[in-house]
Structure 1
Amino acid sequence: MKSVTIIGSGIIGLTSALQLQKSGFQVNLIAKERYDKTLSSKVGAIWFPFEVGPKKKTNTWATMTYMHYKTEESVGNGIIFIPFITAYTPKSNTGWTKQLPEGTVRKATKEELPRGMQMAFISNVPLAEPHLYLPHLFEQFLANGGTFKEREISSLEELASLDTYVVNCTGLGAKTLCNDKELHPMRGQILRCEKMAIVSCADSTQKGALSYVINRSEDCIVGGTDYENDWNKNNEPADTKLILNRLKGLCQEDPKIIETLVGLRPRRHSVRFEFDKTHPNVFHNYGHGGAGFTLAWGCAIELAEILSK
């Protein structure tokens, strides 16, 4: 049996591992932290191609991921489909709307628009609840014969020596590991709140003024921030105030905050999805920005096809 080692246990690493198992590989998973300590464990995880490129390729991966989630829609595994209103402008990436199944997306009427939005789509999209979905994937991986080890990899040379094939899914960690000068953090601060009456929606049309509400089965995520090159992992009260003020532009309801979460999205001009030029057994799969859950399965499916050849 062909062997491959995945580095990283977030949504990109777990989906890559499972798809490679499905393709007949023996898969080993190595990560500095287990899935419940990763960025993937503390995000809204709504399906939406946010701040990621290149557009044509990522729209294709997003569609593949959407269709995979359709096969997983099940009570208890953390995948549900919900109505989602997304604002757009003439400059927005709207190509994803043309690739979804017929009848799942349309333009919102004026009466349906949340306060402050001028134009928006209403689509029926997947929502992954990380606290349910990530352990579901991890348990599947182990049940399929996968192995997991907590270990920090300190260099690309060390990574390349691990297996016949090695897949780098280290997210922002790849900046140091690969000396990737293009990779940088996009800081996100969000509020986990009690459920709200407003329909789930997002307005990402103005850089630096991101605002969204994602109602989940038992709580609600209100966001957020999209600060480029910001390494601050601390909860900033000023950002909480900013998020709440922006929320007033969408609705009049005051959320009841349960906790504040901060994460650093791995941002690049384009997802790095390629073999390493120096270490030809290493494949890079990182830099998915704010769209990890949106692109994960599409990337995993293409990755398995590439390595199977």
Structure 2
Amino acid sequence: MNSEKIIIIGGGVSGITTALTLQLLGCQTEIYTEKKAENIADKNTHPEFASLFPSASVIPHSVYSNQLEELFQSSQSFFYELRKRSFPGLTLQKHFEVFEFEKDRPEYGDWMMNFNSLEEFHPREIPRRSLSQDVYGWAFDCIFADWPLYFPGLITLYKESGGEINQRKIQKREIPSLPADIIINCSGTGSPDLFDDPVEKQMILKGHLLHKPEASLITNSNDEIISYNYTPKASIYSDSSGNACDVYCYPRKDGWILGGSRESGFLDNNDSETEDSPIENTRAYKIDSLDIPSAVIDLNQEILNTTFGHSLEQSDKLSALMGYRYIRNKENGLRLDHETLDGKTVYHNYGHGGAGVTLSWGCAIHLANKIISLKRSQMQSTLLDRLEEIMFDKKT
């Protein structure tokens, strides 16, 4: 085990998960973070803090890495183990990815549990706009992290394992004087301000979200919780380049999370975005002072009503959010490497795109494996044993 202090910069899901992993493995860790999720009342003032906005299904969407398969499978298997141990907020969902045009099977189809073509389902089981509409795609089982339960549970476990969280903004000039020889950078969009990044243009996707509170879980005849991404023809909903856009619905215990949009742009020097390909809107609904693409409500309403008999109206008590997914670049956007700076070893863990939650455990275990001399199987066993000890002590 390692008693040397390790500093983690960033208090989002990647920072907390990485720090918790090292803490459970016997390291002394401290998180430095400018923002704590529990202290932010207005999420729209911090669209760059991705951990305020996850849906959060364990699916490798909108992320680019040459290590994706290994990281995802490591993360997914650990999430399943956490669920077996009743970790707060982890559920299993039947997730549908539906298209109104033919679509190639995704690479991650080989990695998901119970992956099946839509041809295996009765037409009435498939989320769709109308039963007469021809649809294509697939469905699979996936872990879902119910965010208001899972993320606070993660933070609580980190603190109970002896971890510290120091709320302060770190400046680049302070890095050499930080009281640790190992620094792990999980600062997301703040990373280019703290460390040199080889990518010149930092890509983001900006996304609209809606929350419908107190909406009931969406289930099928087998009592499976259902979520979906649905992509209509481009003539129905597209960006300015003519690319078809999807809408989605993820049920949580506190209601539904609905979307979406994927407006691409680039970070400027002030961590704000410059627009590249905005959603092509003929209509928008004004909710909480945000212009929400009308399709987010209208298409979801049509799907929810047609398939499940549920209602979604603009007049519902909806709250609107706008957040960033930090893609970084489409060649190898995830940065998971290390460098030596001023005598310190700095490990980078950012650029997760739409898969921050999805890859959180895989990236954390990958970095821990670089720092601590343990076999991967022994590391996972140690993590789970220590986690169970803390959860058991808490119950008793």
Give TM class, smaller chain: 0.7 to 0.9
Question: Which protein has the larger Cα radius of gyration, Structure 1 or Structure 2?
Answer: 2
The answer to whether residue 224 in structure 2 is matched with residue 161 in structure 1 is no
The answer to whether residue 127 in structure 2 is matched with residue 114 in structure 1 is yes
The answer to whether residue 86 in structure 2 is matched with residue 72 in structure 1 is no
Could you give the per-residue CA deviations for residues 142-164 of structure 1, whole angstroms, max 9, x where no partner exists?
A: 11111111111121x52353211
Q: Which runs of 5+ in 2 are unaligned?
A: 41-48, 220-225, 233-237, 267-271, 274-286, 306-310, 374-396
Q: 1:129 aligns with which of 146, 162, 180?
A: 146
**Contact 1:76–1:132 (CA under 8 A) maintained in structure 2:** no
Question: In the aligned structure 1, how far is the partner of 2:70 from the partner of 2:357?
Answer: 14
Classify the secondary structure of the residue corresponding to 2:358. Answer: helix
CA 91–3 in structure 1, closer or farther in 2 if over 3 Å, else same? farther
The answer to whether residue 210 in structure 2 is matched with residue 191 in structure 1 is yes
Give the C-alpha shift of residue 4 in structure 1.
0.7
Aligned to 1:262: 322
Give the CA RMSD over aligned residues: 2.8
Q: Which amino acid aligns with 2:300?
A: L
Question: In the aligned structure 2, how far is the partner of 1:87 from the partner of 1:75?
Answer: 31
Classify the secondary structure of the residue corresponding to 2:80. Answer: helix
**Contact 2:64–2:327 (CA under 8 A) maintained in structure 1:** no
CA 250–176 in structure 1, closer or farther in 2 if over 3 Å, else same? farther
Question: In the aligned structure 2, how far is the partner of 1:275 from the partner of 1:3?
Answer: 17
Aligned to 2:281: none
Question: In the aligned structure 2, how far is the partner of 1:276 from the partner of 1:236?
Answer: 43
Give the C-alpha shift of residue 277 in structure 1.
5.6
Q: 2:361 aligns with which of 278, 282, 297?
A: 297
The answer to whether residue 228 in structure 2 is matched with residue 201 in structure 1 is yes
Classify the secondary structure of the residue corresponding to 2:67. Answer: helix
**Contact 1:15–1:296 (CA under 8 A) maintained in structure 2:** yes
Question: In the aligned structure 2, how far is the partner of 1:179 from the partner of 1:210?
Answer: 34
TM-score, normalised to structure 1, is 0.88
Question: In the aligned structure 2, how far is the partner of 1:71 from the partner of 1:96?
Answer: 20
Q: Which runs of 5+ in 1 are unaligned?
A: none
Give the C-alpha shift of residue 98 in structure 1.
1.1
Could you give the per-residue CA deviations for residues 162-181 of structure 1, whole angstroms, max 9, x where no partner exists?
A: 21100000111113223543
Q: 1:99 aligns with which of 80, 91, 111?
A: 111
Could you give the per-residue CA deviations for residues 47-71 of structure 1, whole angstroms, max 9, x where no partner exists?
A: 12111112x5223222221111112
Give the C-alpha shift of residue 204 in structure 1.
6.1
Give the C-alpha shift of residue 141 in structure 1.
1.0
CA 175–244 in structure 1, closer or farther in 2 if over 3 Å, else same? farther
**Contact 1:191–1:257 (CA under 8 A) maintained in structure 2:** no
The answer to whether residue 120 in structure 2 is matched with residue 84 in structure 1 is no
Aligned to 1:274: 337
Give the C-alpha shift of residue 11 in structure 1.
0.6
**Contact 2:98–2:229 (CA under 8 A) maintained in structure 1:** yes
**Contact 1:172–1:184 (CA under 8 A) maintained in structure 2:** no
Question: In the aligned structure 1, how far is the partner of 2:189 from the partner of 2:18?
Answer: 17
Q: Which amino acid aligns with 1:143?
A: E
**Contact 1:113–1:120 (CA under 8 A) maintained in structure 2:** no
Question: In the aligned structure 2, how far is the partner of 1:208 from the partner of 1:238?
Answer: 19
Of all paired residues, the percent bearing the same amino acid is 23
Classify the secondary structure of the residue corresponding to 1:139. Answer: helix
TM-score, normalised to structure 2, is 0.70
Give the C-alpha shift of residue 91 in structure 1.
6.5
Q: Which amino acid aligns with 1:49?
A: P
The alignment covers a number of residue pairs equal to 305
Give the C-alpha shift of residue 23 in structure 1.
2.4
